[in-house]
Amino acid sequence: MPTQRLAPRSAHPLLAQGWVYLDVRTVEEFTACHPEGAWNIPAFFRGPMGMAPNPGFVAAVAKHFGMDAKLVVGCAAGGRSAKACAALQAAGWTNLVDVVGGFGGGMGTDGEPVEGWQACGLPCSTMAEPGRTWETLQG
């Protein structure tokens, strides 16, 4: 089953239904601001040669979420979250929603601009809930 792709305004109501927002952006991006209640497990790290995949991404998600978890996966614009969803789907997750446009906005599947989570006025925070940061989740 292909991963469902939803714009932020369509993905947001899922959180009230028990879905979890998994923010796959870098720690720095997450710390600056993120969807309220999000968990941060970076799918990629920024390095001297650009972005590189996090080799422990799938294992970290598996450590904290079962295969039956309902995950709304978002990044900055939609590229990293699509790759993260593909990796999770390949590992066996089936309840995945990829946030088209991510946190900051991006392009939809039709090439048209899509407003990001923040521009849509959806709940955001600069304070992470205890136990939901990469610092605590990787260990």
Q: Residue 25: which CATH number? A: 3.40.250.10
The boundaries of the domain holding residue 24 are 4-127
Say if 49 falls within a structural domain. Answer: yes
Say if 137 falls within a structural domain. Answer: no
Say if 139 falls within a structural domain. Answer: no
Please give the tally of structural domains in the chain.
1
Query: pLDDT band at 107, cuts 50/70/90?
Result: confident
87: tokens are 């990796």
From residue 134, alpha-carbon distances to 36, 67, 72, 81, 82 in Å are 16, 20, 17, 16, 19
The three-class DSSP label of residue 40 is strand
Say if 138 falls within a structural domain. Answer: no
pTM of the entire structure?
0.95
Say if 16 falls within a structural domain. Answer: yes
Say if 46 falls within a structural domain. Answer: yes
Instruction: Give pLDDT, residue 1.
Output: 64
Query: pLDDT band at 112, cuts 50/70/90?
Result: confident
Report the catalytic residues: 75
